[in-house]
């Protein structure tokens, strides 16, 4: 596999960046927060040890790089460039402040059983932007296939947009969004995995399923209540809250 050709990478040099802290790790390798020695800018640097990856994981890493190059927008983490050095693939990306998992943990500590107006509007705005981000992917014929709070990054910037998606290793470009055949089976985190995702016949609706479970957590619902249709506990928590905000929500997937 010609990694240099496939990733359209630009040789940059690991020695050009100073390690700040580890941001995460997984089967692919690790992601570090780094500072460029030349200008002091902060980035996220993903390091993938090629000789330790299975062929399947190599394909996932390559897939992520290709999709990041294609999906340059405010809805997706910004890709800068990638290069190979000492049998490692390096992917340089923007570094954001945190992720949705951290927000959910903070919300559980700060708020009680009944949702307050403040918590409701925070949750509403986060979910609205998350829906817009997934809609952007689907309009570009990309199924993420691994939506979960860890892969929803959060930052505060000038245009009041603070939700961006990351980790496109399992994502797939499809010609027809609703095509449900010849898919890789058993994709995504089991906690947010749609039932049909364990088979080879599914489509973009598996992203919508994951999105619904993330939304349930944002508003403090028990995801088991969602699956079991227990709306009484949901009604008790939300009460008569109404955002009264006119917005074009992404509803096609729910039909």
Catalytic residues: 146
List of residues 6+ apart from 160 with CB closer than 8 A: none
d(CA 181, CA 122): 38
Helices (H), the chain: 3-7, 55-70, 100-110, 117-139, 205-218, 223-228, 232-238
- How many beta carbons lie within 10 A of that of residue 252, not counting itself? 14
- Residue 160 has phi, psi (to 5 degrees) of 60, 20
- Asked whether the beta carbons of 197 and 188 are under 8 A apart, the reply is yes
User: What is the DSSP secondary-structure string of 129-192?
Assistant: HHHHHHHHHHHTTEE-----GGGEEE---TTS--EEE---TT-EE-SSTT--SSPPSS-S-GGG
């Amino acid at each position: 596999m010609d990694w240099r050709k496939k990733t359209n990478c630009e040789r940059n040099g690991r020695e050009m960046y100073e390690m700040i802290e580890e941001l995460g790790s997984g089967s692919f390798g690790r992601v570090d927060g780094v500072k460029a020695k030349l200008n002091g800018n902060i980035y996220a640097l993903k390091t993938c040890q090629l000789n330790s990856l299975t062929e399947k994981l190599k394909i996932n890493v390559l897939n992520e790089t290709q999709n990041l190059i294609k999906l340059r927008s405010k809805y997706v983490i910004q890709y800068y460039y990638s290069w190979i050095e000492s049998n490692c693939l390096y992917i340089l990306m923007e570094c954001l402040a945190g992720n949705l998992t951290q927000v959910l943990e903070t919300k559980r500590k700060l708020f009680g059983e009944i949702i307050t107006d403040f918590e409701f509007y925070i949750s509403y705005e986060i979910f609205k932007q998350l829906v817009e981000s997934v809609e952007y992917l689907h309009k570009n014929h990309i199924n993420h296939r691994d939506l979960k709070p860890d892969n929803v990054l959060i930052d505060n910037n000038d245009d009041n947009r603070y939700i961006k998606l990351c980790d496109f290793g399992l994502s797939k470009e499809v010609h027809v969004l609703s095509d449900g055949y010849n898919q890789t089976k058993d994709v995504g985190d089991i906690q947010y995995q749609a039932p049909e995702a364990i088979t080879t016949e599914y489509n973009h609706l598996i992203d919508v399923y994951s999105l619904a479970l993330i939304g349930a957590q944002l508003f403090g619902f028990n995801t088991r209540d969602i699956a079991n249709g227990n709306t009484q506990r949901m009604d008790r928590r939300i009460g008569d809250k109404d955002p009264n905000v006119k917005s074009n929500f992404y509803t096609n997937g729910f039909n």
